[in-house]
Amino acid sequence: MTGKTINLFYSYSHADEALRDELEKHLKMLQRQHVIDTWHDRKICSGTEWDKVINNNLERPTLFYCSSAPIFWPLIIAGISKYNAPCSGMKKN
């Protein structure tokens, strides 16, 4: 396969981990063909500085998968985003 690999960053509630796992199954062939490369927080090794690892991986994505548990929906709808630092990977093109 030629061309640029799509970097997918998963942002999800751990309550939705089964959904992420299911999506990952469907993307497995594209991963094997190096069409897509995925990253999520479960790939963080113990003992590493998790905030730096997350920020480094936020710099790479060309695609974001965002999911949240229903308990957080009122916060999202209300526009409360002060708990998430902005990242350069989310800049407008």
pLDDT tens track for 10-29: 888 888 888 889 999 999 99
pLDDT tens track for 65-87: 877 666 656 555 555 444 454 54
Enclosing domain of residue 59: 6-90
Per-residue tokens: 90: 């989310």
Provide the pLDDT confidence category of residue 49 given band limits of 50, 70 and 90.
very high
Instruction: Please write down the HEC assignment for all residues of 17-36.
Output: HHHHHHHHHHHHHHHHCCCE
Global pTM reads 0.65
Report yes or no: 55 and 88 within 8 Å, Cβ to Cβ.
no
Counted domains in the chain: 1
Q: Is residue 1 part of a domain?
A: no
